[in-house]
Each structure stands twice: as structure tokens, then as C-alpha cells.
A and B are shown apart, each in its own frame.
Chain A
Amino acid sequence: MLKKNKRFSALFFIFSLMFLTQNVSRVLGDKSEAVSRISHAEDSLEAAYLSVLEAERMGGDISEIVTLLNTALEIYSEAERALESEEYDIAVQLAGKVVEASNAVLEADISLMVVAGHVEEEAFRNQLFLSFGAVCLIVLFGFLGWRLFKGYYVRRVMGLRSEVFDIGS
């Protein structure tokens, strides 16, 4: 009877250990997956930020894409909070959303942003041409105006100048 009890206890212990190991490994697996997904999400965010920075340096209008990136950052914070509160499934789900949003930023047509940014560049070029034209006109009209004024002035002054007649002849 005692032998039977010992055997039963040993079996119970082995089964409990197996059950515990299985659960612990599942939880640890969930946690490590969540940590890895969040780390991947963080990398995606950094890549997205660097693409935005590049687009801005190329003269692109990035305001809309930055709004999208900030939304991704908010979701990232939620994912981190879910990880801290051991809600691994939610953390994984949210990390996936962050990657999606970051990819949307990366895939955004940077050429379109750059075209929008070029509007400013074009406006500056137009200003440059207009200014050059205006300077040319000022110089030209100044010169012509001066010539006309000089002629008028000389005629007027010369017209007022007293003439000397030889009365004796």
C-alpha cells in the first residue's frame, strides 16, 4: 500500500512538473515573441523616421507623413504598456500595427512629397527671375528716363538762356 502511494506520488509529481514546464515555456515563449515583435516594431519606426528625414532634406513636404508616424508611435507606446502588463497577445497585435503603419510611411510616395516640396523651390526661382527682370527694367527705364529728362531740361534751360545780338550791325 505504501509502495503504491509512493508510486502515485511520483507519477503525480512528474505530471505536475510536465504541466508546469509546458505552461512556463508557453508563457516564456509568448513573452519572448512579444519582446521580439516590439523590437522589430521599434526598428521599423526608426527606418520610417530616417526615410522622413531624407524626404525633408530632399525638399519634400512631410507634414502628413509625420502625423502618420506619430500615430504609429502612439500605438508603439500602447504595445509597450501591454508588454509590461503581461498582455502578450495584445502586445504582439499592436506591434504588428506599428510595423504596418511604419511600412505605410516607408512606402509613401516620396517623389510626390518631393514634388510638393519643389513648389517652394520653384517659387524661389520665380522670385529670382522676377527680381532680375525688375532690376533690368529699373536700370533701363532709369537710363531712358534720365535721357528724356536731360533733353527736356536742356531744352527748357537753353530756351530761357538770353541770347546776345549784335545791335551794331
Chain B
Amino acid sequence: MDLDDWHLVFVSVCLVLVLAVCVPLVVALMPSREEPFLALAVLGEDGMAEHYYPGDDPQIEVGEEFHWTIYLYNHMGEVQYVAVMVKLLNSTMLAPNSTTFTPSPAPVVYEVRRVLLNNETLMFPFSWTVLNVEQIGDFLDVRSLSVNGEAIDTYSVALHGLNYRVVLELWVYDEDLGDFRFGWVYGDEMRCAWNQIWFNLIA
């Protein structure tokens, strides 16, 4: 190797060392390009997205108890004040709309409010039972539910008790609005999260 080759080696080694020193700094200085989001999920008895009903049979009876878990994750880049609204719908009631960001008009049967730190995951137990049902001709009317040990009056009618659904909506506190809203703002766009699990009720 002649002197020019050695010069090249020296300069290269110096550049590599400078890069090695600067890369962590540049990474820390670079703005995050990740999209902020909130996640909502309902998990079954084993804490997985399965086995929501015993024997995976969604034909349920009055008094039968189900142990689910509500999963929440905050990746919004800052602390968030959120509320999970639980609603009981039949097949004809309007579900939340992810295009217009409209929540379901059904009444809230249970509500969980939490403040989540950035990157925090929250698992919240959600045990429920249909307590009282009234038969009106061919229709079944769910008159009360028990959620986490709390009895809640409700009103939801379905033909032969078919196609009921438990709907969970994620509402986020909007500091500009000064209130909760269904979904959250990302740039100029809106995002929302909701979940539904169907069941048929046997009187």
C-alpha cells in the first residue's frame, strides 16, 4: 500500500467513528414518523381473542356468566383520557359508523373511564350476565344485565332473542371540545375504534 491508500484508510476509519458517535444523536433528534393511535380490543376468558362463550357457542342463557377483558393501548404520544362505552344492541339498532365517526345511538349500559400514559396498556376485567328477560310474543326483551357485579336496567328487544350484540366504543377526551368524543383526531383526519360481539339469547 502506498501513502495515498493509507490516507484513504485513515479518513474512512475517522468517518466511521464520527458516524458511530453521531447516529444515536441523529435518531434522537429525528421527529417520529409513526402514526399515533389508540387500540381497543375485547379478549375472551383466556385473555386471547377467542373463547368468548363456553364451548365457543354464542347461544347463551339467562344467568350465564361471561368473563371478558377489555384491552386498551395508548400510542398517541402523550397521556390520554379515555372512556369505553358498553352498549347492548339488537340486529336492527344502528352500530357505530367508522366512516362518519358516529357512535351507536343505543344507551350506554356501562362505562369505564381511565387516564392512560403514553405507551401504556390497560387490561380491564369485564364480566357480564343477562339477569332478566321478558318474553313478549315472539320477541325477547333484555330488561337487566349485570356488569362487573353491578345490576343495570336495560331495554333491548330481539325476535326470538337472535342477533344481540355487545358493542364497545372508545371515546377520547378532546381538550378543544372540552368533552369526550367518539374517536380521535390525527392531523386533519379522524380515527375511531369500536368492537362488537354477537350472541343469541335462549329464554
Residues of A within 8 A of B (CB): 46, 49-50, 52-53, 56-57, 62-63, 66, 69-70, 73, 76-77, 80-81, 84, 124, 127-128, 131, 134-135, 138-139, 142, 145-146, 149-150, 153-154, 157
B22 sits at the interface (CB 8 A): yes
The residues of B that contact A150 with a CB separation of less than 8 Å are: 3, 6
Q: A49-B115, A53-B79 are in contact. Are A146 and B25 (CB under 8 A)?
A: no
14 residue pairs of the A-B complex, CB under 8 angstroms, read: A46-B81, A49-B115, A49-B173, A66-B79, A69-B115, A70-B115, A73-B113, A77-B113, A84-B152, A124-B28, A135-B21, A138-B17, A139-B14, A142-B17
Taking the complex as formed, is B46 at the interface, i.e. its CB lies under 8 A from any CB of chain A? no
What residues of B have a CB within 8 angstroms of the CB of A77 in the complex? 111-113
Q: What band does the interface of chain B fall in when counting residues whose beta carbon is under 8 Å from A?
A: 20 to 34
B31 within 8 A of A: no
Confirm or deny: B30 has a beta carbon within 8 angstroms of a beta carbon on chain A: no
- Asked if A127 meets B14 with Cβ closer than 8 Å, knowing A77-B111, A146-B7, the reply is no
Q: Are B22 and A131 in contact (CB under 8 A)?
A: yes
8 tightest A-B CB contacts, nearest first: A142-B14, A134-B21, A49-B81, A138-B17, A73-B113, A146-B10, A131-B25, A69-B115
Residues B21 and A66 in contact, CB atoms below 8 Å apart: no
The binding surface of chain A is classed by DSSP as: helix
B10 touches A142 (CB 8 A): yes
Shortest Cβ distance from residue B86 to the other chain A in the assembled complex, whole angstroms:
13
A139 to B19, CA, bound (A): 12
A144 → chain B closest CB, angstroms? 11
CA distance A80 to B147 in the complex (A): 14
Beyond A46-B178, A77-B111, whether A128 also contacts B78 by CB under 8 A is: no
- Tell me, yes or no, whether B191 is within 8 Å of chain A by CB: no
Task: Enumerate chain B residues within 8 angstroms of A63, measured Cβ to Cβ.
Answer: 117
Mark contacts of B10-30 with chain A using CB atoms, 8 A cut-off: 1 yes-contact digit, 0 otherwise.
110110011001101100100
Picked from A62, A127, A145, the residue with its CB within 8 Å of the CB of B79 is A62
Q: Judging by beta carbons under 8 Å apart, are A57 and B7 in contact?
A: no
Please tell me if the beta carbons of A127 and B25 are within 8 angstroms of each other in the complex: yes
CA distance A71 to B81 in the complex (A): 13
The residue among B7, B79, B152 with the most chain A CB atoms within 10 A of its own CB is B79
Inter-chain contact A53/B175, CB cutoff 8 Å: yes
**A63-B117, A149-B6 known; A138 vs B78 contact (CB < 8 Å):** no
